[in-house]
Amino acid sequence: MIFLTTAIDYPNGSPHIGHAYEKVLTDVLARYHRLCGEEVYFLTGVDQHGQKMVQTAEKEGVNVATLAKKNTKKFLKLLDALDISNDGWAETTDDRHKACVSQILTALHEKGQLYKKSYSGYYSIRQEQFLTDQERDENGNFGPEWGEVEAREEENWYFKLSEHTTWLREAVESDALGIVPAFRKSEVLNAIGKAESTDLCISRPKERLSWGIPLPFDPDFVTYVWFDALINYISFAGYLKGEGSELPDFDKLWPAHFHVIGKDIMVPAHAIYWPCMLHAMGFENAQMPNLLVHGWWNVKKKDSATGEESSEKMSKSLGNIVDPMELVDTVGTDAVRYYLARDIATGKDSDFDPERLFVLFNSEMANGLGNLLNRSLNMTKASLGAELVAYEHDDEECQLVRNSHAALLKIFPEKMAEIDLRGALEALVSFITDVNTFAERTKPWELKKDEAKRDQLTAVLHHMCEACALASVLLQPFVPAAAAKMQGQLNAPHLADLKFADLKWGLLPAGQTINKPKPVFPRLQKSDE
């Protein structure tokens, strides 16, 4: 079983393009593993507790539960707009999740892993955590990533995080806790060094924050949002589930193949808090999840004085957020999904560039694959009565197409295994370019004029249609709606049921009839840009 999760998002506002990217990235991986014949469970959701939710509700003058419900609908709507194929949905206000968190807290308390003390220090309101001097920069200041920081003294409950950091370092070094891409591993090891003598505050006084899961052994406190949120990965996977919960079989799902997360929540939350929490619960090395850490979509900023361009992180305060719902409404789901998978190296940052979206989709999908599909089907219909009949002709040109076909079937899974979605799409685009070049060289529109070359014409058109069939299958993880339309026009519904191991030359047999083509990848017009 392949168990994939995204981070659960704060519904204290509307989703942005970063949320959309993480969902699409995970969805492409989920659909690809299904294409490979593997059973997949894909979990995503929202983190509805925490101080940020309360602060936003107060600003909007609404009840926090009302805010959570209203904004959660926006994230659900985004999943539909992006054609996300999640199997599970997590909401931290779900009673099943609350029960799991309470059981875990009780067990850790009984093990002596939790203790109560008073603490005085600096508190990050954005990250909802106390800071230490290790979070200060060389000038002694807390960086902008921590947002507003205030001095605070209060009594709270703590998790003995420091008891698990020696184990955690060994787990990271041995890859028991897998971290992809590999260059992130050194960041985690450095962060462990900062956490070795620090325990984690896991509560907030109810008099200050009532919106959360009460500690079962001390109801005057609610659970710290991260200690609540991270548990979603196991609570909604069926860990400690009650009778009739309708949750999946935990032993079948766990450990997670990947927690897909942004680099900003890798440390300390996912690479330090979470594995140490699991270790304290009794999870062994073989039961540790893997982390797939992606980068950010930034936006280009032009200096008004020099004209020089630079990149800056998207931020509500800067007003440079890209709304994924508006983007889908403007250019369509296929274009958004294709761009988000195509124009970023997994694990690294990239600049969101509407011009690149426009150029890549038009050149590679509309002009490349869309043109190949239309000309293949139109010429087959006009020249062969819409039937791919048997042929005997073969030559060097046809062999080149089959060689390119075989090369694609080799490199595509290699790239996907490396989580190199961009590389996989580049390989597919290269194949489509080869087939379009084949059409230009063989000129089936000229072959049609000579009855003596009918067998060659049949071979050429069959090769072109065969290429479209393969492309439709390989595109299923990336643009599932467009892939289904291609298969409908090829009159080949069996393609949707194929697994990667079934892919070989001959997906469309002799006698296959095709349907009338309609644009699957309409060009984005300038008004859409």
How confident is the model over 274-289, as pLDDT tens digits?
999 999 999 999 999 9
Average pLDDT over residues 21-40: 98
Token couple for 172: 């990271």
DSSP output for 276-314: HHHHHHT--GGG--EEEEE--EEEEEE-TTT--EEEEE-
Token couple for 146: 């921590």
What single DSSP character describes residue 496? G
Residue 529 has pLDDT above 60, yes or no: no
Residue 93 has pLDDT above 50, yes or no: yes
| Residue 24, CA atoms < 13 Å, CB-side half-sphere | 29
CA 117 to chain centre: 39
Question: In degrees rounded to 5, what are phi and psi of residue 227?
Answer: -70, -25
pLDDT value of residue 114: 98
CB atoms within 10 A of CB 217: 15
Residue 528 has pLDDT above 60, yes or no: no
Which amino acid, 357? L
pLDDT value of residue 316: 67
Token couple for 48: 């509805």
Percent of the chain surpassing pLDDT 90: 88
**Reported pTM:** 0.95
Residue-level length of the chain: 529
pLDDT, one tens digit per residue, over 374-386 is 999 999 999 999 9
pLDDT, one tens digit per residue, over 329-385 is 999 999 999 999 999 999 999 999 999 999 999 999 999 999 999 999 999 999 999
pLDDT, one tens digit per residue, over 138-178 is 889 999 889 899 999 899 999 999 999 999 999 999 999 99
Q: What angle do CA 23, 28, 30 make, to 5 degrees?
A: 90
Cβ contact 256:43 at 8 Å: no
CA 83 to chain centre: 12
Cβ contact 44:26 at 8 Å: yes
Q: Is omega for the bond preceding 493 within 30 degrees of 0, making it cis?
A: no
